[in-house]
Amino acid sequence: MNSSSVSQVTAGVSDESKTDGLAWKLFLASFAALYCELVIIRYLSTEIRIFAYLKNLPLIASFFGIGLGMIMGAPRKSLKLAFPIVAFILFALMVFARALHITHIPLPGAEYYVWGLPGISGALLWLRFLATVLIVLALVVAFFATVGGIVSESLARFSPLAGYGINLAGSLAGVIVFTLLAFLRLPPICWTFLAFLCLVPFFRQRRWALVLFLLTTAITFNPRADTFWSPYYRIDLRPYPIPEGRTQPTAYYLNVNHDFHLNMLDLSNDFLSHYPQLEPYRWAVLNYDLPYRIMPHPSQVLVVGAGSGNDVAAALRHGVDHVDAVEIDPVILRIGKLHHPEHPYDSGHVTIYNDDARAYFKKTHKTYDLIVFGFLDSQTLMSSFSSVRLDNFVYTRESMQEAGRLLRPEGAIVLAFATGRSFVNERMFATLAAAFGTTPKVYENFSNPDISFVIKKGQPAPTIDGLRDVTDYFVQHTTNTAVATDQWPFLYLASRTIPNSILWPLLIFLIAAFYVLQRTVTLPRLASRESMHLFLLGAGFLLLETRGVTELSLLFGSTWIVNAVVIAAFLAMALLANILVMYWSIPRSVSYAVLFALLLLSIVLPYSLFGGLSTPLKVLAAAIVVGLPVFFSGMIFSRSLRDVASPAQALGVNLLGAVVGGTLENIVMVGGTQSLGVLAIALYGVSALLVTRSQTVPDEIAEGEISVQ
């Protein structure tokens, strides 16, 4: 943002000549706060794997740290002195996680399925797990408490709405820049360099701090040429040993975020005739050839979760006329194009779609003889705002029905999953049976935990040599299995409950956070209805954001760009609402009435109903159902913020409310996605009851009742 646009945002400041020069400082501090939040959450989920499934916890810790820092005001000397050390330790834990043996700490218990991590428990495991999580969260809080204090120090120089407008603009810029870095597929050293560069102006008088910033940036450099960074993963590509008589690798294995993800194999007839017993080729042939033993001569084939191209290569080996290959990760697609031994993506019979599988089902008008679901296992959550994993909405009843509508008469769906006889595959069986009203045929590989499900129109699926028919087993073990649906898409969750591995660290963190808040900040009237009003607005807004990210993935897919656009759009709506309130006063009662009407509409009319609309109408529907509630919520908050004497403390209270909203988000695992809307209505309803015409919100903050010890 240039200086003239920033000056426009700061219109209404009491002494413009003094604040113009500070606007860039507030903008930069706000940019750094949100940008560093995105960097840390992304990097943590890559290097310490439990945070790929607990992204909500660092988000909550970030909100708490920033909120605490903003309430405390300008960072204390001790905090500023400690900040470079805290930053170095936090990033060093991520960089050296493997050496410290914390990359693959298991999630205790068997309630939540995690790829590659056994569901085990024990006192020592729990202790190690909780210690790692809580130490990281403590460092995140300490990091952001300082950053929040820097924001607070700059914000204090502005009138509430002008300062809040610059704060939102800086935050929006942080999202846009991080999204651009993800688009360019740049590595972590680029992320950290920019993060600490933004912090340099606030520490320029401490040279040793600048040296530590430089050192922290330097340790994030990874010189390996076979490590790539996609918008979703760290990807490591390694070749298998070259077979005797060959000069080039004939197979690679690909890890994402330090976990095995897929093999790229030469399964051509020529290669296998020379190496019939070589592993891992021999067992893989059965899996990739299975669809063509079910459907011997398909003409049109759709592969979703196409990955690096194994399923596409199998289709080409069996002489199909055309293959549509759908893969969400652009870097994995590129690796397949460049390195797959059979080069399936170079074929003129293949069309590539870099998209979410569910989104493709909605967009396409083609029909297929055969639909193959590759090993579509995401191994991460789709957003730090949501408990839903990246691939969850692909494996719901509604998704399977959408895929079924693309089948031609006598067509077949073949879906493989490498989780053996687990509750995950039992749910998959129950979901397929519910979607198609028929019993799927189920095959088990003798030599590994792969399970293949088959839905075939017309004649039943045949017996397959080399695979065990285990259909009866799944029929017997799924009588009471919950079906995965768009409203409850938790394929990897054993039951409708919050797993202990999520619940216990969350509860311990909240207790510790309350203790820190009580010891650090005196809040004699935080529980007053005026202060609670801002608090509840923060909790409600976080739930709106979570619901938007989750539900819009149903309309547009769970791609990284959709998530980034949703977050940026929410900030833009809040900024627009703030600017409007600066110049035009709309009664809060009107904003509340419209907000409640829109939230009720979103519950009564689920977003999946809009899936069949054209793209322009779908965007319009999303703007009405998702964007407008955010806008009117922003109108309410800006109106409440307008008259406070200490906007930084008011925003801090609001962020503490967001901590509660982030905590409540986990209830979605019990009540489903609709529970988010119900909770949001309840929170906004209580906040509305706390507003009276005769009171300025919040009088206590205006009178300095929130003080720092």
Q: 262 pairs with which residues across the strands?
A: 254
Going by their DSSP bridges, the two strands 322-327 and 350-354 should be labelled as: parallel
Q: What are the distances in angstroms from CA 683 to CA 10, 132, 523, 594, 688?
A: 31, 33, 21, 15, 9
Beta sheet of 451-456, edge-to-edge order:
350-354, 322-327, 300-304, 368-373, 407-417, 451-456, 441-445, 467-469
In sequence order, what are the residues at sequence separation of 6 or more whose Cβ sits closer than 8 angstroms to the Cβ of residue 605?
A: 625
Query: Which among 306, 261, 314 is positioned nearest to 287, based on CA atoms?
Result: 314
Domains and CATH numbers, the chain: 3-225+493-708 (1.20.1250), 284-377+397-476 (3.40.50.150)
State how far the Cα of 306 lies from the Cα of 667, in Å rounded to an integer.
33
Could you tell me the two tokens for 64? 């708490």
pLDDT at position 363, please?
87
Residue 258 region by backbone torsions, left for phi larger than 0, else alpha for psi between -120 and 50, else beta: left
In sequence order, what are the residues at sequence separation of 6 or more whose Cβ sits closer than 8 angstroms to the Cβ of residue 287?
A: 416, 445, 450, 452
Sites in the chain below the pLDDT cut of 70: 1-21, 116-120, 280-283, 377, 447-448, 522-528, 606-609, 611-612, 692-709
Q: Are 75 and 131 in contact (CB under 8 A)?
A: no
pLDDT at position 273, please?
86
Runs of H (alpha helix) within 390-499: 397-404, 423-436, 471-476
- Residue 79, helix vs strand vs coil: helix
Number of separate helices (H) and strands (E) present in the chain: 26, 14
- Residue 522, helix vs strand vs coil: strand
pTM of the model: 0.90
End-to-end CA distance of the chain: 37
Per-residue three-class SS string for 12-45: CCCCHHHHHHHHHHHHHHHHHHHHHHHHHHHHHH
pLDDT single digits (tens) 145-188:
999 999 999 998 899 999 999 999 999 999 999 999 999 999 99
State how far the Cα of 551 lies from the Cα of 151, in Å rounded to an integer.
32
The phi, psi pair for 590, rounded to 5°, reads: -70, -45
In sequence order, what are the residues at sequence separation of 6 or more whose Cβ sits closer than 8 angstroms to the Cβ of residue 684?
A: 536, 537, 540, 592, 595, 596, 599, 633, 636
pLDDT at position 48, please?
95
State how far the Cα of 417 lies from the Cα of 374, in Å rounded to an integer.
8
Burial class of residue 188, CB neighbours in 10 A (0-12, 13-18, 19+): buried
pLDDT at position 525, please?
54
Could you tell me the two tokens for 307? 């990955």
State how far the Cα of 596 lies from the Cα of 512, in Å rounded to an integer.
34
pLDDT at position 597, please?
93
